[in-house]
């Protein structure tokens, strides 16, 4: 199954790709490519995505064009791309022995205590390198030579857990992802004038309202009233900046909580619907199936751990 799937949304005219979640599998994907061909799984046109992407050049060198900027990359370079950023990828290398690792994952892969919390990933201590905005939504870091072997091991260990799917692989894969992000945070901390959180007060206010009120019936007008804007203006700003409407953000937050409750509790679908602001289970089932291609009950069964 592909890492990304078209969402039907656009941001600044570019299509937005969403993370393809699979019930029972950890929300992280790793790929490795070698030689002088393009990395697999990347759309070959300008696009945005609603998940995070981290690429590491293990060996070789090449030219990477992202978001209108061109970088000469070589062994030890790391490229991070934040959700919602428009990138126009182009990669080329004349090195047949070039090797690049890429990990893709939604923010809630590392926000286990508050999965799907809108905007909160920007303040997560392990995700701050994704929000520096020094060069648009794309950042480049350099890994010290002494640490490069550790980076390769982190990616290889994560890839093995995902490929072999042994007992406890979900927890093990997420633990390996956390260790990889620790390496990233350490590399970022070594950069003078290190990456800082982006100043997005309006989006932060919108996400705060949605986070606080998603368990209740809530509309675009309710959110607009709390942040002091008209519904039309808020729709325009949020749509241009994120590629989603306010209502889509509300739905995403609710579905994140639904997934958590399906996995961690024995609550009925009707009870879950009441906890996320839906009046009846039928509407929740329709929204869930539209987003994930399966029913909540099937999702729960697929992710069940044998006892």
Q: Same structural domain for residues 91 and 178?
A: yes
Q: What is the pLDDT of residue 128?
A: 60
Point out the domain boundary residue: 156, 189, 222.
189
Q: Same structural domain for residues 97 and 119?
A: yes
Q: Could you tell me the two tokens for 266?
A: 């024995």
Point out the domain boundary residue: 140, 168, 189.
189
CA 132, 134, 139, 140 torsion-angle sign: negative
Q: Same structural domain for residues 64 and 213?
A: no
Q: Tell me, yes or no, whether 232 lies in a domain.
A: yes
CATH code of 104's domain: 2.60.120.280
Q: Same structural domain for residues 88 and 217?
A: no
| Mean pLDDT confidence for 284-293 | 89
> What stretches of 93-150 adopt beta strand conformation (E)?
99-105, 134-142
Q: Same structural domain for residues 115 and 10?
A: yes
Q: How many domains does the chain have?
A: 2
| Mean pLDDT confidence for 166-173 | 92
Closest CA to 132 of 60, 74, 59, 78: 78
Q: Same structural domain for residues 145 and 230?
A: no
Q: How many whole angstroms separate alpha carbon 155 and alpha carbon 102?
A: 8
pLDDT of residue 73 exceeding 70: yes
Q: Same structural domain for residues 37 and 114?
A: yes
Residues 244 and 252 sit within 8 Å (Cβ to Cβ):
yes
Helices H, strands E: what count in the chain? 9, 11
Residues 243 and 9 sit within 8 Å (Cβ to Cβ):
yes
Q: Same structural domain for residues 125 and 148?
A: yes
Average pLDDT value for the chain: 80
Q: Tell me, yes or no, whether 195 lies in a domain.
A: no
The CA angle 19-24-26, to the nearest 5 degrees, is 50
Q: Select the more confidently predicted residue: 99 or 121.
A: 99
pLDDT of residue 192 exceeding 50: no
Point out the domain boundary residue: 138, 159, 189.
189
Q: Same structural domain for residues 90 and 172?
A: yes
Q: Helix or strand or coil: residue 169?
A: helix
Q: How many whole angstroms separate alpha carbon 304 and alpha carbon 53?
A: 28
pTM of the model: 0.62
Residue 29 CB-half CA count within 13 A? 18
Residue 213, domain extent: 201-302
Q: Tell me, yes or no, whether 307 lies in a domain.
A: no
By residue count, the chain amounts to 307
Q: How many whole angstroms separate alpha carbon 242 and alpha carbon 86?
A: 10
pLDDT of residue 36 exceeding 70: no
Q: Tell me, yes or no, whether 94 lies in a domain.
A: yes
CATH code of 265's domain: 1.10.10.60
> What values do phi and psi take at 222, rounded to 5?
-65, -45
Report pLDDT digits (tens) over 90-106. 666 666 678 889 999 98
Q: Select the more confidently predicted residue: 216 or 121.
A: 216
Q: Same structural domain for residues 164 and 243?
A: no
Q: Tell me, yes or no, whether 194 lies in a domain.
A: no
Q: Could you tell me the two tokens for 97?
A: 């022995």
% of the chain surpassing 70 pLDDT: 76
Q: Same structural domain for residues 56 and 126?
A: yes
Q: Tell me, yes or no, whether 196 lies in a domain.
A: no
Report pLDDT digits (tens) over 3-18. 778 888 887 788 888 8
Q: How many whole angstroms separate alpha carbon 250 and alpha carbon 211?
A: 8
Q: How many whole angstroms separate alpha carbon 225 and alpha carbon 291?
A: 28
Q: Tell me, yes or no, whether 257 lies in a domain.
A: yes
Q: Same structural domain for residues 112 and 153?
A: yes
Residues 273 and 283 sit within 8 Å (Cβ to Cβ):
yes
33 to each of 36, 37, 132, 299, how far by Cα in Å? 9, 8, 27, 31
Q: Tell me, yes or no, whether 82 lies in a domain.
A: yes
């Amino acid at each position: 199954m592909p890492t990304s799937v078209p969402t039907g949304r656009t941001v600044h005219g570019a299509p937005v790709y969403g993370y393809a979640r699979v019930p029972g599998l950890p929300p992280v994907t790793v790929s490795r490519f070698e030689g002088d061909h393009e990395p697999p799984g990347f759309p070959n046109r300008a696009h945005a995505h609603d998940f995070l992407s981290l690429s590491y050049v293990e060996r070789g060198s090449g030219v990477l064009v992202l978001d209108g900027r061109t970088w000469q990359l070589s062994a030890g370079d790391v490229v991070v791309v934040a959700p919602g950023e428009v990138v126009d990828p182009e990669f080329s290398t004349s090195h047949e022995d070039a090797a690049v690792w890429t990990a893709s994952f939604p923010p809630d892969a590392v926000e286990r205590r508050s999965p799907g919390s809108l905007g909160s990933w920007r303040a997560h201590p392990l995700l701050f390198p994704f929000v520096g905005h020094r060069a648009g939504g794309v950042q480049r870091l350099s890994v010290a030579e002494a640490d490069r072997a550790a980076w390769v091991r982190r990616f290889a260990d994560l890839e093995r857990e995902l490929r072999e799917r042994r007992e406890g692989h979900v927890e093990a894969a997420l633990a390996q992802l956390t260790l990889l992000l620790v390496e990233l945070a350490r590399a970022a901390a070594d950069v003078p004038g290190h990456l800082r959180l982006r100043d997005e007060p309006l989006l932060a206010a919108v996400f705060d309202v949605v986070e606080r009120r998603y368990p209740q019936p809530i509309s675009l007008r309710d959110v607009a009233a709390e942040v002091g804007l008209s519904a039309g203006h808020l729709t325009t700003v949020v749509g241009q900046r994120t590629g989603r409407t306010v209502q889509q953000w509300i739905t995403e937050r609710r579905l994140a909580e639904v997934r958590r409750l399906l996995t961690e509790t024995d609550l009925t679908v009707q009870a879950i619907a009441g906890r996320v602001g839906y009046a009846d289970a039928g509407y929740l089932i329709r929204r869930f199936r539209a987003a994930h291609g399966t029913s909540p009950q099937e999702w729960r069964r697929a992710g069940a751990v044998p006892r």
